[in-house]
Amino acid sequence: MHRYALLAILLLLFCPPLRAQVAADETLRLAETLPSPWGAPLGPAMAPGTKLRLAPQVMAGPAPLNCPGATHTFMRTPAPGLFEGNLPAPAEQSAKSLGLPDSIVTQRVTCANAGFDVHRAADGRAWIGLDNAVLRWERASLAKSPEATVQSLLVHHFAGNMTFSPESIAAQSAWLSTSLRDKLTRWFARTAGSEEVPYLSGDPFTDSQEPPETFELAPAQLRGDRAELTVTYRGPSIDSHPVHFQLLRAQGAWRIDDLRFRDGQSLTQVLLR
């Protein structure tokens, strides 16, 4: 017993716990620098083609967009909240003039002494406000990983209306395993003609009746061709809670194969009720 206790202490001392608030490993390429609608740029425009890397604990780019030890939180952001609230009213029109779509998910990158908001569209485009300029980025690469699969699905989900329907599942099918898609299709077909209230009535991806406002990813736990990744959701009208995404790697791609909810049940179990 003493040896086991000593081993546990050593593991705690020399093997730090996995950090939450990670992000997928991807590289963005600067498409253009736009003057902001709230003030004159404070310096020369950044060169098109400049690279910016976002990764589990990293934001690496030209100064000041260099942030070792970064943490990442993703949040739904209405137009008045974009660019730290600096958009002139009406904010929706100002955002549209910069090329932003109607629905945006902000990736908030927090460093030791700074923070940056990366405003993201579901298709991989991104915008950053810096020194009274707006930097518009396009995705150059996205590493294949469980984090990338879950982050991509949730950015798409949060940027939409977050409904649970055959149409929404079809739009998310690229990130789901064939097995899970088939189970969902059969469930929708079975419940469509039923007068009974289905056991699953909320959004399974967030395990909530009310849409959360933020999500955070923990590092995936890998076991061969399977992985589990915990997502934590928060919002003013819901309690902070996790959903455990279970993924399967097939033909080199990670796909979501099941979900485990806070009560211990899996999505597959619920679909069979």
Q: Per residue in 17-27, pLDDT tens?
A: 345 699 999 99
Say if residue 135 is in the same domain as residue 154.
no
Q: What's the pLDDT score for residue 13?
A: 37
Q: What's the pLDDT score for residue 8?
A: 34
Length in residues, the chain: 273
Residue 59 belongs to domain spanning: 26-142
Say if residue 96 is in the same domain as residue 208.
no
Tokens 């930097």 identify what position? Answer: 135
Q: Read off the pLDDT of residues 77-99 as tens digits, 9 standing for 90 and up.
A: 999 999 999 999 999 999 999 99
Q: What's the pLDDT score for residue 9?
A: 35
Q: What's the pLDDT score for residue 99?
A: 96
Say if residue 130 is in the same domain as residue 158.
no
Q: What's the pLDDT score for residue 1?
A: 35
Domain assignment present for 163 = yes
Give the chain's mean pLDDT.
90
Say if residue 167 is in the same domain as residue 185.
yes
Say if residue 59 is in the same domain as residue 97.
yes
**pLDDT above 70 coverage of the chain, percent:** 90
Say if residue 99 is in the same domain as residue 171.
no
Q: What is the 3-state secondary structure (H, E, C) of 228-250?
A: EEEEEEEECCEEEEEEEEEEEEE
Q: What is the pTM of this model?
A: 0.90
pLDDT at 41 over 70: yes
- In angstroms, the CA 85 to CA 91 distance is 9
- In angstroms, the CA 31 to CA 125 distance is 10
Domain assignment present for 122 = yes
Q: What's the pLDDT score for residue 228?
A: 98
Give burial (CB, 10 Å; 0-12/13-18/19+) of 256: buried
Domain assignment present for 220 = yes
The neighbour count for residue 241, using CB atoms within 10 Å, is 17
Q: Read off the pLDDT of residues 173-195 as tens digits, 9 standing for 90 and up.
A: 999 999 999 999 999 998 887 66
Domain termination residue (choose one: 142, 170, 202): 142
Say if residue 107 is in the same domain as residue 189.
no
Domain assignment present for 154 = yes
| Domain count along the chain | 2
Q: What's the pLDDT score for residue 202?
A: 85
pLDDT at 2 over 50: no
